[in-house]
Amino acid sequence: METTFIEFLDGLFYGGYASCFVDENPEAYYRQLAEFSNLYKRRMKTHLYLTVRVEVESELNLLDCVRELEKQSEIKISDTPNVRVLEIAILLSVLPIKN
């Protein structure tokens, strides 16, 4: 976390500012580091996009197959104690098969 804080300070002011700050006023530096750490943890969010490949076979024509998949298929991914699922969608692509 301290490395991230140093990069933040150096980016905000000028390169090397963080080392001057800690040398000149270590009390204020560590107080600011603690505050930065608390705010950073609360605001840090990660969006992860998963790709799942499913191959299907059907005697239906393409349009009917797509409609049936969209209406009757289900993908289930649930929240965990530390991860909240924001959206689940079926993204469909059709590839021709070479015989």
Q: How many CB atoms lie within 10 A of CB 18?
A: 23
Q: Report how far residue 93's alpha carbon sits from residue 95's, in angstroms, rounded to the nearest whole number.
A: 7
* Degrees to nearest 5, angle at CA 42 with 19 and 25: 20
CB 69 within 8 A of CB 90: yes
Where residue 42 falls among pLDDT bands split at 50, 70, 90? low
> What local confidence, expressed as pLDDT, does residue 44 receive?
63
pTM summary value: 0.39
Q: How many whole angstroms separate alpha carbon 95 and alpha carbon 43?
A: 41
Helices (H), the chain: 2-12, 17-24, 26-43, 62-72
Rounded to an integer, the average pLDDT of 41-70 is: 81
pLDDT for the residue 23: 86
Domain residue spans in the chain? 1-43
Handedness of CA 51, 53, 58, 63 (dihedral sign): positive
